[in-house]
Amino acid sequence: MTHSDRILMGPGPCNPYPEVIEAFGRPVLGHLDPEFISLLDDTGERLRQVFRTDNPLTFPVSGTGSAGMEAAFVNFVEPGDVVVIGVNGVFGGRMCDVAARAGAEVVRVDAAWGTAIEPQQLLDAHPDPKIIAVVHAETSTGVRNDIADLGAAKGDALLLIDCVTSVGGIPVELDEWGVDIAYSGTQKCLGVPPGLAPLSVSPAAVERIIERPQSWYLDLNMIARYVTGGSARAYHHTAPISMIYALHAGLGVLLDEGLVASFVRHQSCGDTLQTGLVEMGFEMFAEQGHQLPQLTTVVVPTDRLPAGVGEADVRRQLLGHYGIEIGGGLGEFAGKVWRIGLMGHTARRRNVTLLLGALGEILAG
């Protein structure tokens, strides 16, 4: 069975940091072993630093980013609760689906894909929602939505944000912004393979966890007794031990580098890529001023492709001839947009140089 070493420049997963893969090699500990509990506690502490929060209930959900999304909704939504959700891409749309399955009365605030959502529109959408939810970095469009102004004006609502693609790549300030519930994924700017969903819940939101969420697996009432139970730890489910080693190691790499240094690195790589693509004649898809450095979206240059070569052929050539993965568009932008990630360990100048060179060669036919 062929197993190639790719340069992962799609919308995630990224290439993991070497220290992360090393961590997978550590001996497996039991999920109630004091040594593992220490490591889990330290993982929570590292996550608090990365999320910029003091929230005690900060831990990795035992599933991928979408499990984090589901945990973020099902623990707070009871049938009939009003949830305002900003939608300018796939993941905002997914939030609506998840919230509706928990019985929410969803109030959608749509913005065109490729543009950002105006925070005031979220605030004006309903006089008294239980939750206002928005995706910070839309992985489907490469757009950053502004969060900072929502917290101060949210009233009694809980502010819920998706940080899957933002954490580690651009500033995220849960406490300063007044965010109540935030989830992320490991496979983007944290430089860890997919498998866990870091989640953080403010003390105010902890008070509003519903009594019996529809999901047993994601029930924060029970999970909190394991992850923050102190000496009274209660087994809930067996934690994904080795994945937590990997996350712990990836957070260590990020914090050793420093959050600001990581943001600068991601920004620098993204700027260089975007400048290079524009110089090659590409048109950016995401709105100016809201472009993510870690995830660049460009309009497929249909008129510049060699004769008989479609956009999927270009991606196939990148993969087959260069071992580079980039992402296609989603939804109505399938075939029309490429998504190029520079996240985590992938966010290196050399990868920018490589991709621009490879694209140039392919477009030259």
- The minimum distance between CB 119 and a copy of itself, in angstroms, equals 26
What distance in Å separates the CA atoms of residue 23 and residue 248, rounded to the nearest whole number? 8
Of 66-74, 117-125, 141-149, 302-310, the window that binds a copy of itself (rule: CB under 8 A) is 66-74
Choice from 60, 92, 142, 195 touching a copy of itself (CB under 8 A):
195
Q: Which of 5, 279 has the CB closer to a copy of itself?
A: 5
Phi, psi of 357 (to 5 degrees): -65, -45
Binds a copy of itself (CB under 8 A): choice among 37, 82, 85, 102: 102
The reply on whether position 235 binds a copy of itself by CB under 8 A is yes
Q: Residue 95's closest CA among 117, 68, 124?
A: 68
Choice from 50, 55, 70, 166 touching a copy of itself (CB under 8 A): 70
> For a copy of itself, which residue of 133, 205, 246, 343 counts as binding (CB under 8 A)?
246
Instruction: Name residues whose C-beta falls within 8 Å of residue 187's C-beta, 6 or more positions apart in sequence.
Output: 12, 13, 14, 64, 65, 193, 194, 195, 344
Are 51 and 198 spatial neighbours (Cβ–Cβ below 8 Å)? yes
Distance CA 185, CA 198 (A): 6
State yes or no: residue 290 binds a copy of itself (CB under 8 A).
no
What span, in angstroms and rounded, lies between the C-alpha atoms of 184 and 161?
9
**217 lies in the site for a copy of itself, by CB under 8 A:** yes
- 25 vs 80, beta carbon nearer a copy of itself: 25
Q: What count of Cα atoms within 13 Å lies in the side-chain half-sphere of residue 271? A: 7
Running DSSP on this structure, what letter comes out for residue 100?
H
Of 116 and 196, nearer to a copy of itself (C-beta) is: 196
DSSP-assigned beta bridge partners for residue 299: 283, 337
Which positions lie near a copy of itself, rule CB under 8 A? 1-6, 8, 10, 12-13, 15-16, 21, 24-31, 33, 35, 38-39, 42, 62-67, 69-70, 94, 97-98, 101-102, 185, 187, 193-195, 212-217, 235-243, 246, 319, 325, 330
